[in-house]
Amino acid sequence: MKAMILAAGRGERMRPLTDRHPKPLLPVGREPLIGWHLRRLKEAGITEIVINHAWLGRQIEETLQDGAAYGVSIAYSAEGEKGLETAGGIATALPLLGDEPFLVVNGDVLTDINFTTAKQRAASLRPQQHLAHLWLVGNPEHNPSGDFALADSGMVRSTSESGGRMLTFSGIGVYDPALFADTPPHQAAKLAPLLRAAMDAGQVSGEAHSGLWLDVGTPERLAEADRLAQAW
């Protein structure tokens, strides 16, 4: 199974820290932020990894190189300075990801979600039937209304009108390549509309994660991530 780490964001809320360094390389404990994902993917037996990048992306390649220092193999999908949004970035990287379901991880979160279970979730996906499985978390202060509703059946809905509690998307999911069949590569496209359409068609499952998850989106949350990482 392959994984993709999303690392193309500009990190506007993290400025001025991100004026000279891409957000995935900001230090968290003894590692750059992205390094925690690489280590945990390796522990889960997922060693073929694709990383997309845009703003100051060459620094990411120069720092991580081929991934050997982390025991993984890294391929890079360069998007240009502005980036392609999440769906556009994934669609552009599909030739590197292959034809089987793959794991996608936001590069700017710190979490102990068990990546080992991604292989099990991927085995349940079927083109045109079951296109995605998402990890959802409790709503943080900066997103009190949540993103999607998780029903008792384990299916994810775009709203809570059909039942379920509103939770926040963790930025971590397993996707069948068919989800991006109509998304042209090398063009900017957002992921949320694709997911909502698939949810309305009953093609997205999910699970709630109650452990560690932190959106490292501001200097204050970077400091919190650094504090939490000291215990790892």
Residue 208, both tokens? 């709630």
Q: How high is the pLDDT of residue 182?
A: 95
User: Which residues make Cβ contacts (< 8 Å) with residue 53, sequence separation at least 6?
Assistant: 7, 8, 22, 60, 61, 76, 77, 78, 79
Q: How high is the pLDDT of residue 12?
A: 79
Distance of alpha carbon 26 from alpha carbon 215, whole angstroms: 14
8 A C-beta contact, residue 10 and residue 18? yes
Helix, strand counts (H, E) of the chain: 6, 13
Residue 140, both tokens? 């943080």
Q: How high is the pLDDT of residue 9?
A: 85
Bridge partners (DSSP) of residue 53 are: 7, 78
Q: How high is the pLDDT of residue 128?
A: 82
Question: What are the pLDDT digits (tens) for 109-164?
Answer: 999 999 999 999 999 999 889 999 999 999 999 999 999 999 999 999 998 776 78
Distance of alpha carbon 222 from alpha carbon 72, whole angstroms: 25
Q: How high is the pLDDT of residue 192?
A: 96
What percent of the chain clears pLDDT 90, i.e. is strictly above it?
83
**More confident call, 50 vs 126:** 50
Question: Is the pLDDT confidence value at 178 over 90?
Answer: yes
Q: How high is the pLDDT of residue 222?
A: 92
For the chain, give the mean pLDDT.
94
Question: What are the pLDDT digits (tens) for 51-64?
Answer: 999 989 999 999 99
Distance of alpha carbon 103 from alpha carbon 106, whole angstroms: 10
Question: Is the pLDDT confidence value at 102 over 80?
Answer: yes
Residue 161, both tokens? 């009108």
Distance of alpha carbon 166 from alpha carbon 222, whole angstroms: 26
